[in-house]
Amino acid sequence: DAKTTQPNSMESNEEEPVHLPCNHSTISGTDYIHWYRQLPSQGPEYVIHGLTSNVNNRMASLAIAEDRKSSTLILHRATLRDAAVYYCILRDVDNAGNMLTFGGGTRLMVKP
Amino acid sequence: NAGVTQTPKFRVLKTGQSMTLLCAQDMNHEYMYWYRQDPGMGLRLIHYSVGEGTTAKGEVPDGYNVSRLKKQNFLLGLESAAPSQTSVYFCASSILAGTYEQYFGPGTRLTVT
């Protein structure tokens, strides 16, 4: 799987939007962009994924650059509960084992 | 619907002891995974299974064995525990291959002294 690069940490104020960036300059045409997050002392949980178009769900929005070399996870109104490590992961559609390869992620801190 | 459960939640072993971690899922998922997470790091895949009776090696399989005798259960065994295996272990499952999301359990914190 291609590699992703994320900032180690970010800070946000509660109830403000948060934009978490991810660079993936070596992405291939069959790579999906997935985001998972891990709350303290819990297992990771799925947030969102996309291929080319921007995606929205109840948790977040995913904005994908036109050249697909970068993407941004958008939390529209951060809450204290959103403090977590956010992982940006590329997954090939032909990934036979459906495996996830985790990097270091971005630790998001939310200030009240 | 409990999702993915793991047993036990915590365990302390002495070097050389053996133990088995149990993962159970009630979502009828085909695929199951075992990951480990060391402090300050992302998860690394140990072993995985693409269906009942199958297992395959992941990124860091040495020192571990697995079995998938029933579709809903995936067991991770440590035959002779070492301090380097001190970690938090997460089990996950997914319905199929491709890009389906994985569902994770709450983790087992293992300390080997």
pLDDT of residue A27: 92
Taking residue A55's Cβ as centre, other Cβ atoms within 10 Å add up to 17
Of the candidates B4, B35, B98, the beta carbon closest to that of A93 is on B98
In B1-113, the DSSP E strands lie at 4-7, 10-13, 19-25, 31-37, 43-49, 56-57, 65-67, 73-78, 87-94, 103-104, 108-112
pLDDT of residue B4: 97
B19-29: pLDDT as tens digits = 999 999 999 99
A17 or A104, greater pLDDT = A17
Token couple for B1: 């619907």
- CB contacts < 8 A (A, B): 65
B42-74: pLDDT as tens digits = 899 999 999 999 999 999 999 999 999 999 999
Q: Which residues of B touch A98 (CB under 8 A)?
A: 31, 94, 96-100, 102
Question: Which residues on neighbouring strands pair with residue A106, listed in sequence order?
Answer: A86
pLDDT of residue A112: 93
Provide long-range contacts, Cβ within 8 A and 24+ apart, for B39-44. B41/A104, B42/A87, B42/A102, B42/A103, B42/A104, B42/A105, B43/A44, B43/A100, B43/A102, B43/B90, B44/A102
CA angle B53–B10–B29, rounded 5-degree value: 30
Q: Which of A11-15, A99-103, B18-22 has the lowest mean pLDDT?
A: A99-103
